[in-house]
Structure 1
Amino acid sequence: MSLDDGYGPDYDDDPERGHQTRTRLPERAGGDAYGTGRRSRTAVRPSRNMVTVVGVVVLLIAAIAFANRDDGNGDADGAGSTGNGPQAQPTAPTGEKPVPGSEAGIAKGFPKTEQGAQSAAANYAVALVSADILKPQRRQEIVQQVFVSEKVDELSSKFNQAYSKDFLDKLGLDANGNAEKGMTYVSRTAPVGTKTTEYADTTATAEVWCTGVFGTAGVSSTNPVANDWFTMTLKLRWVDGDWKVESFSQKDGPAPVNSDRKASNADEIAKAVEEYGGFTYAR
């Protein structure tokens, strides 16, 4: 599945790539170090199922890319490292106090520091790839909380176009982003690490390396829950005492070799999502 299937424009303009169990999307600059040799779970699950599973992840991220498309000067693209910014520091606890509060379920009040920018980026990445972003009311709250005010109306419109009824149908969800009875839709992201590639007094660019689980848990699900690895790049600006997002982009990986560990059944996955809450992330 790609954006040419009716979900928006091309993801980007680079050459194509893919590997054994992923639905192919256009390549990002730099290529995939694993190439077609990345290990998969095809030894324990039919490849057709895996293509379907990864298709769910691809759909979700493709919609995000479409929503973030810049119709003007292309600021949303190529938001990665320029090579001129400060060197990334290892991901490790800093001892800094966490943020003092939250709004719309998203942390707020990040300090005006490089660490604060990274913490903001990590929390915003989680919100932008959450199951809540598929629900119209929650989506509006997320957009208002995450983005600079002048981008809210534009991005609200783009997100609404990206997460259309046809798109939600592909995920097995209704117009309100809810799964059918007996099913649980899962879209949960966990930041693995962060780094800043640019930092100034009121602006920053941060990259968030993420893993996550995506799909629909249920006995009759045709989109089983699978994991994915990706990196989100967020351009941030200091506005009214907090870091807010001006633009963001996403690329695949870095991804480790998949293990051959037996997958949990649908009930176990659904139960875990219901019982285990998320976190507020601080650098």
Structure 2
Amino acid sequence: MSLGDDTGRTRTRLPEASGDPYGGARRNGRSSSRSLVTVVGVVVLLIAAIAFANRGGGDSDAEEGGGDSPKAAATAPTGEKPVSAGASGIPAGFAHDRQGAESAAANYSVALVSADILKPDRRAEIVRQVFVADKQTSLENRFDKAYSKEFLSTIGLDENGNAAPGETYVSRTMPIGTKVIGYSDTNATVDVWCSGVFGTAGEKTTNPVTSDWFTMTLQLRWADGDWKVDSFAQKDGPAPVPGDDKASTAEEMAKAVQEYGGFTYAR
């Protein structure tokens, strides 16, 4: 997956072999054919629409490593009890400290780059749970415009964000680690390094499920007794050298998504 820039462009990886877009396809970072499977398009990945919807977000007042605060703090286990699930299945009740801000950022990244964000009813719930109150109405309107019927159609979904019968749309994000860029009692800026799988699992799909690496930067604000998102942005990488794993079939991928649940992320 490639994250959209301000021009709304996204990058789509096409299968290297004909037939089943999953069966037998192999990814090799040193293959000369790799340059042929990356094209500029306007479909597939929802991050471009998210970036569009988030334009105009306010700036954070977080301290940029001021005082005795380090400029960056890498993720490390602490043994603290994880937060509980809140509304819409999204964790809530994060601690009012740096650790709580990191946990909030990781969990919110998962919600913002999920298949549910494409569904109108679920999208409204996610916005209300994740964002600060004074940004919710404007963001709901921006998301609704970004995820229009026309946009959803380009990635093979109906107006309710559902895939065609026999197909499964996949959009799942896995945070790899977090890093505090700036922190104060009222604001925090956190980078979340992520990997994800995106696309449609189906025998006839032209948008097979692929993976990508990206970093989301979330500006958080302490509001109503919890960390909430004020604004966010994204950039590509850091990405490892691609492996030479054999891609799964569409059936295997759809089954995995249905059978394996996600996690609650705690610092």
TM range (shorter): 0.7 to 0.9
State the Cα distance separating 1:44 from its structure 2 match: 7.8
Unaligned runs of 5+ in 1: 13-17, 23-38
Matched, 1:75 2:58: yes
1:112 aligns with 2:96: yes
Cα pair 1:53 1:224 within 8 Å, conserved: no
- The corresponding residue for 2:44 is 56
Q: Secondary structure at the match of 1:277?
A: coil
Match of 2:110 in 1: 126
Match for 2:215 among 193, 207, 231?
Answer: 231
How far did residue 170 of structure 1 move?
Answer: 1.0
Residue aligning to 2:7: 10
Alignment match, 1:95: 79
Instruction: Give the Cα–Cα distance (whole angstroms) in 2 for the partners of residues 81 and 212 of structure 1.
Output: 30
- Scaled by the length of structure 2, the TM-score of the pair is 0.84
The CA deviation at 1:54 is 9.9
Of residues 39, 43, 47, the one that matches 2:36 is 47
Alpha carbons 1:86, 1:199 under 8 Å: kept = no
* Aligned position for 2:172: 188
- Corresponding residue SS for 2:230: strand
String of CA shifts for 1:93-138, please: whole Å, max 9, x gaps: 1111111341111000000010000000000000000000000000
Query: How many residues get paired?
Result: 252
1:177-216 deviation line (CA, Å, top 9, x unaligned): 0000000000000000001111001111111000000000
Q: Stretches of 4+ moved more than 4 A in 1?
A: 18-22, 41-46, 52-55, 78-85
Summarize the Cα distance change of 1:11–1:54 in structure 2 as closer, same or farther, 3 Å threshold: closer
Q: Distance in 2 between matches of 1:271 and 1:69?
A: 36
Partners of 2:139 and 2:88 in 1: CA distance: 17
Q: Percent identity?
A: 61
Structure 1 CA distance for aligned equivalents of residues 30 and 141 of structure 2 = 38
Does 1:265 find its partner at 2:249? Answer: yes
TM-superposed deviation, 1:20: 11
Q: What residue ranges of structure 2 are gaps of 5+ in the alignment?
A: 15-27
Is the contact between residue 12 and residue 40 of structure 2 (CA under 8 Å) also seen in structure 1?
Answer: no
Query: Helix, strand or coil: the match of 1:56?
Result: coil
TM value normalised by structure 1: 0.80
